[in-house]
Amino acid sequence: MNILVTGAAGFIGSHTSERLSEMGHHVIGLDNFSPYYDLALKEKNAEALREKGIQLRKIDLRLEALERSFDCEFDYIFHFAAHPGISNTSTFEEYYTNNILGTQRLLQFAEDCKKPPFFVNIATSSIYGLEATSTEDTAPKPASWYGVTKLAAEQLVLAKTREKKLKATSLRLYSVYGPRERPDKLYTRLIDSALNNKTFPLFEGSLEHLRSFTYVQDIVDGIVSVIGKEAVCNGEIFNLGTETESTTAQGIETVEELLQKKINTESKPPRAGDQSRTKANIDKARKLLNYDPGTSLKEGLEAQIRWFKESH
């Protein structure tokens, strides 16, 4: 099958592109190579994809029309492209243009295809709000610009299914970590702090925060499980993540144990919109997608530490 992946040079998008290619699909990736973090890291991801025969094109969904960009029709679109995370330095316009406007333009492209592809929207547990422990039919209460704009993007996608103009699903991901994790995220920063004697910025109150820290390959398992299940997935939302909860303190302790190094921390004011608890309720995904993540935090962090040492 022909598959289009947006945000393909990013953390989860690059892993998913590789998996789809390994499954025998023809994958074309898009990325705008935004300077949200060091572009050299994205270039490394892009090079890894090209070495595996995956086409990758630099396109900004906010600015460029896709109608004449491809010489093939697509069976699936996996939409990762977004302005990520909770950042005090990001503007609302950056979240809006990337997460809402970019999604709307991609949906228009999909709708205009001769045979519209099945659209897989990559969403986030931030849609639920400060506590993300609920089932998919719970009313969202996002508490950050990121969560608000990702909810809006999700609803743009699902609106197309209600209008019967596209077939689509939305996957809400929980606290993903592993090789290629962004440098601003928890475990890459912890590993960097331990190995390079840097001080780790610890947001006030975050030691007690609970997370469904989910290894990236377990997330990819859930994402690709949608293929072939269009009838089951159309119009549906699925949570993807581990049911095991860990505190930030336990995460720090695990990194220290694996590296045999103490991490020095510096207290920072709490971040607005930061979730106090996430616990993935995956009953629906387990039943309909046969989803069953099994990588322990220690196993996943061992793989991430190996990647960090090799790539940095």
Per cent of the chain over pLDDT 90 is 86
Report residue 66's pLDDT band, with 50, 70 and 90 as the boundaries.
confident
Distance between CA atoms of residues 269 and 275, nearest Å: 14
The confidence score (pLDDT) of residue 275 equals 86
The confidence score (pLDDT) of residue 14 equals 98
Arithmetic mean of pLDDT, 207-228: 96
Catalytic residue among 76, 95, 146, 187: 146
The confidence score (pLDDT) of residue 271 equals 78
Distance between CA atoms of residues 187 and 87, nearest Å: 16
Residue extents of the structural domains in the chain: 2-174+215-243+280-293
Distance between CA atoms of residues 174 and 242, nearest Å: 8
* pTM summary value: 0.95
The confidence score (pLDDT) of residue 203 equals 85
Indicate if the pLDDT at residue 191 is higher than 80: yes
Arithmetic mean of pLDDT, 211-233: 97
Please tell me what DSSP assigns to residue 139. P
What is the separation of C-alpha 194 from the centre of its chain, rounded to a whole number of angstroms?
A: 25
Query: 23 and 54 in contact (C-beta within 8 Å)?
Result: no
Report residue 306's pLDDT band, with 50, 70 and 90 as the boundaries.
very high
Ordered alpha helix ranges (H), 67-185 = 92-95, 102-112, 145-162
Superfamily of domain 2-174+215-243+280-293 in the CATH hierarchy: NAD(P)-binding Rossmann-like Domain (3.40.50.720)
Least confident among 68-72, 216-220, 293-297: 68-72
Indicate if the pLDDT at residue 287 is higher than 80: yes
Q: What is the pLDDT of residues 153-185, one digit of tens each?
A: 999 999 999 999 999 999 999 999 999 999 999
Q: Is 146 a catalytic residue?
A: yes
The confidence score (pLDDT) of residue 72 equals 75
Bridge partners of 121, per DSSP, are 79, 170
Distance between CA atoms of residues 53 and 18, nearest Å: 9
The confidence score (pLDDT) of residue 173 equals 98
Indicate if the pLDDT at residue 1 is higher than 90: yes
Please tell me what DSSP assigns to residue 97. I
Least Cα distance to 201 among 268, 272, 270, 276 occurs for 268
The confidence score (pLDDT) of residue 56 equals 96
In this structure, what token pair is assigned to residue 272? 């607005």
The confidence score (pLDDT) of residue 267 equals 87
Arithmetic mean of pLDDT, 124-140: 95
Cα 230 to Cα 29, 227, 288, distances in angstroms: 22, 7, 11
Per cent of the chain over pLDDT 70 is 99
Query: 122 and 173 in contact (C-beta within 8 Å)?
Result: yes
Q: At which residue do the structure tokens 């377990």 appear?
A: 218
What is the separation of C-alpha 115 from the centre of its chain, rounded to a whole number of angstroms?
A: 27
Q: What is the pLDDT of residues 78-121, one digit of tens each?
A: 999 999 888 778 999 999 999 999 999 999 999 999 999 999 99
Count the residues in the chain. Answer: 312
Q: What is the pLDDT of residues 21-64, one digit of tens each?
A: 999 999 999 999 998 888 899 999 999 999 999 999 999 999 98
Least Cα distance to 106 among 92, 94, 91, 120 occurs for 120
